[in-house]
């Protein structure tokens, strides 16, 4: 079991090193990347099954006992997100392989892509599995370095500017995170999450509130929670399609996961948190109103991404099993749907030769498959039954109604409005891109004859869309699993006992 916990981090790092030595053998790089991610996916499934049956799995690196060593933990929440994230990163990598084949030009092959991508995967996996704040910081830095390389591939001026915006915002968050870690360590003498779960309760109430707000700001920047979202719409749309898909699908959700983990484990609450409820409402409205004003399809999807972070924050803000269940379901749904819609958008832009929707139109006749593929995640994001977005939103609305309080009900009303505006925005985009006649002449960047690389890209996007449908089909078992994961977040004892032992694990 120790090996199983370490593999999702160690394997991608080792594979990145090997891939770096094979820069002149792109076929070998592709094979290694896909093979490693498939192994990690099998490992993640094994961790999820084991954690669901027997409780959290823990390993202490080097044999040092907690809280002194490096702790890796896989509970229901982290293992579930590990499975979903690895599924998405595998599909996106296959899409990227197809994109490289479709380019049909050795000069367009970028040798650094696969090492950087595998390092990004290692950072994501470490964030889900780490049991201490400092290694969570390390995970975010791994993701920052890798994602900067990936965003700025090909080095155009626009991508470099976007990369700088992304990097400056991330470094600001990192500096705040280091400050928070220093303050936490000064106050408690530990950075181990389980140990902090015991010791933070003994701190003065004002200090606990300050630390909770500081960590909320840190992870709010990384999750693109309004008003800390300003960096995202300028950063993601400029990257290559597979990079935009994986960043949009996963990096912001790692920030949401960090909020879920730290706020419930370190700062548990009996009632809903008004600060988070207001932030959730603001995030929904700012994001969807920004999306309505966009003509660039990728910027529109980026603002929708911001908007739907508010749904996850809404579930966390309720601080009960029902709300957290809805938040977990929404994270799973959104990782899949958002990555899928960005992959399809990449294919649309490639076909149309422009991201401007006013220059598109009529693609339904030439590429009906893209129209169908775009519809599946779009309808899911809009909350149309019976897709996974409806299941997650219904769980959140039920949780809000169960509280009976005015502010949660107000946020629920905003959530319904946001869903309707999402349907309006994506429906209008579908009509402009696929149904209507193009408003301006456009230039196609691909031949009309399907090529092997294009078929691989379509296959990867279709597989990811199918996985999103599978999430809806398995809504019952998934909701039950999410409920058990949410109960673990509320009742911290299983986590604390698994890491610290029975004697020290009682909060």
Name residues whose C-beta falls within 8 Å of residue 497's C-beta, 6 or more positions apart in sequence.
505, 506
| pLDDT band for position 373 (cuts 50, 70, 90) | very high
How confident is the model at residue 128, as a pLDDT?
96
Q: Does the pLDDT at position 155 exceed 50?
A: yes
What pTM was computed for the model?
0.92
How confident is the model at residue 506, as a pLDDT?
59
Name residues whose C-beta falls within 8 Å of residue 43's C-beta, 6 or more positions apart in sequence.
4, 7, 8
Q: Give exposure, 161-176, as e/b (b: 16+ Cβ within 10 Å).
A: ebbebbbebbeebbeb
Q: Does the pLDDT at position 279 exceed 50?
A: yes
Helix then strand count (H, E) for the chain reads: 21, 2
Mean pLDDT of 337-347: 92
Q: Does the pLDDT at position 249 exceed 80?
A: yes
Q: Does the pLDDT at position 154 exceed 80?
A: no
Task: Tell me phi and psi for residue 22, to 5 degrees.
Answer: -115, 35
Q: Does the pLDDT at position 104 exceed 80?
A: no
Taking the chain, what is the end-to-end CA distance rounded to the nearest angstrom?
Answer: 26
User: In this structure, is the dihedral angle defined by the CA atoms of residues 454, 457, 463 and 467, taken in order, positive or negative?
Assistant: negative
Longest dimension (CA), the chain: 71
505 is a domain residue: no
What is residue 132's three-state secondary structure? strand
Take residue 436 and report the two structure tokens written for it: 């209507």
Mean pLDDT of 369-397: 93
Report how far residue 155's alpha carbon sits from residue 139's, in angstroms, rounded to the nearest whole number: 25
Q: Strand (E) positions, 29-174?
A: 57-60, 71-74
Q: Strand (E) positions, 326-428?
A: none
Give the pairing type, strands 57-60 and 71-74: antiparallel
* Domain ranges, residue 418: 2-439+451-500
Take residue 313 and report the two structure tokens written for it: 């924050």
445 is a domain residue: no
Q: Does the pLDDT at position 33 exceed 70?
A: yes
C-beta atoms surrounding 123 within 10 Å: 24
How confident is the model at residue 439, as a pLDDT?
58
446 is a domain residue: no
How confident is the model at residue 112, as a pLDDT?
84
| pLDDT band for position 84 (cuts 50, 70, 90) | very high
Report how far residue 103's alpha carbon sits from residue 106's, in angstroms, rounded to the nearest whole number: 8
| pLDDT band for position 37 (cuts 50, 70, 90) | very high
> Roughly what angle, to the nearest 10 degrees, separates helices 205-223 and 252-266?
170
120, 146 contact by CB (below 8 A) = yes
C-beta atoms surrounding 312 within 10 Å: 30
Task: Tell me phi and psi for residue 130, to 5 degrees.
Answer: -65, 150
pLDDT in tens, 434-463: 887 765 555 444 444 456 678 888 999 999
Report how far residue 456's alpha carbon sits from residue 242's, in angstroms, rounded to the nearest whole number: 13
**Helix, strand, coil in percent for the chain, rounding step 5:** 80, 5, 20
96, 37 contact by CB (below 8 A) = no
144 is a domain residue: yes
Take residue 445 and report the two structure tokens written for it: 């960047």
What's the total number of domains in the chain? 1
How confident is the model at residue 68, as a pLDDT?
82
Task: Tell me phi and psi for residue 446, to 5 degrees.
Answer: -135, 160
Q: Which of 189-193, 310-314, 362-366, 459-463 has the lowest mean pLDDT?
A: 362-366
88, 71 contact by CB (below 8 A) = no
pLDDT in tens, 468-482: 999 999 999 999 999
243, 150 contact by CB (below 8 A) = yes
Q: Does the pLDDT at position 425 exceed 50?
A: yes
Residue 319: left if φ>0, alpha if ψ -120 to 50, beta else—which one?
A: left
Report how far residue 127's alpha carbon sits from residue 114's, in angstroms, rounded to the nearest whole number: 20
444 is a domain residue: no
Q: Strand (E) positions, 214-261?
A: none
Find the angle CA(80)-CA(166)-CA(287) to the nearest 5 degrees. Answer: 70
């Amino acid at each position: 079991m120790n090996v199983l916990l370490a593999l999702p981090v160690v394997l991608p790092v080792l594979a990145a090193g090997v891939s770096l030595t094979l820069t002149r053998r792109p076929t070998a790089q592709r094979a290694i990347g896909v093979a490693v991610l498939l192994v990690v996916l099998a490992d993640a499934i094994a961790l999820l099954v084991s954690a669901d049956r027997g409780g959290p799995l823990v390993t202490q690196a080097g044999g040092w006992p907690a809280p002194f060593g490096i702790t890796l933990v896989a509970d229901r929440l982290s293992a579930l997100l590990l499975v979903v994230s690895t599924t998405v990163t595998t599909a996106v990598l296959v899409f990227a392989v197809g994109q490289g084949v479709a380019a049909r030009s050795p000069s367009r092959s970028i040798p650094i892509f696969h090492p950087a991508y595998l390092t990004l995967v290692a950072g994501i996996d470490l964030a889900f599995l780490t049991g201490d704040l400092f290694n969570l910081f390390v995970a975010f830095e791994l993701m920052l370095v890798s994602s900067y390389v990936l965003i700025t591939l090909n080095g155009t001026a626009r991508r470099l500017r976007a990369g700088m915006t992304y990097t400056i915002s991330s470094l600001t968050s990192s500096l705040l995170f280091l400050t928070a870690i220093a303050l936490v360590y000064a106050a408690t003498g530990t950075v181990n999450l389980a140990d902090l779960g015991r010791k933070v309760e003994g701190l003065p109430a004002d200090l606990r509130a300050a630390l909770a707000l500081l960590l909320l700001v840190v992870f709010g920047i990384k999750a693109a929670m309004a008003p800390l979202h300003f960096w995202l719409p300028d950063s993601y749309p400029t990257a290559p399609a597979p990079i935009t898909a994986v960043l949009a699908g996963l990096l912001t959700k790692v920030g949401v996961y960090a909020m879920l983990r730290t706020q419930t484990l370190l700062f548990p609450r009996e009632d809903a948190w008004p600060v988070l409820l207001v932030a959730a409402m603001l995030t929904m409205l700012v994001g969807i109103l920004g999306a309505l004003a966009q003509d660039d399809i990728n910027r529109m999807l980026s603002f929708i991404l911001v908007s739907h972070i508010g749904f996850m924050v809404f579930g966390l803000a309720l601080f009960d099993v029902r709300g957290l269940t809805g938040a977990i379901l929404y994270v799973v749904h959104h990782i899949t749907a958002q990555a899928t819609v960005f992959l399809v958008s990449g294919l649309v832009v490639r076909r149309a030769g422009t991201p401007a929707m006013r220059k598109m139109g009529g693609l339904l006749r030439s590429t009906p498959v893209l129209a169908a593929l775009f519809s599946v995640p779009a309808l899911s994001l809009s909350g149309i039954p019976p897709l996974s977005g409806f299941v997650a939103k219904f769980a959140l609305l039920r949780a809000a109604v169960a509280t009976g309080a005015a502010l949660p009900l107000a946020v629920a009303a905003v959530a319904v409005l946001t869903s309707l505006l999402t349907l309006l925005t994506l429906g209008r985009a579908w009509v402009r891109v696929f149904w209507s006649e193009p408003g301006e002449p456009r230039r196609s960047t691909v031949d009309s004859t399907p090529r092997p690389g294009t078929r691989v890209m379509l296959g990867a996007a279709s597989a990811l869309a199918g996985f999103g449908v599978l999430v809806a089909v398995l809504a019952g078992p998934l909701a039950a699993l999410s409920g058990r994961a949410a109960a673990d977040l509320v009742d911290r004892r299983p986590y604390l006992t698994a890491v610290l032992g029975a004697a020290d694990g009682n909060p």
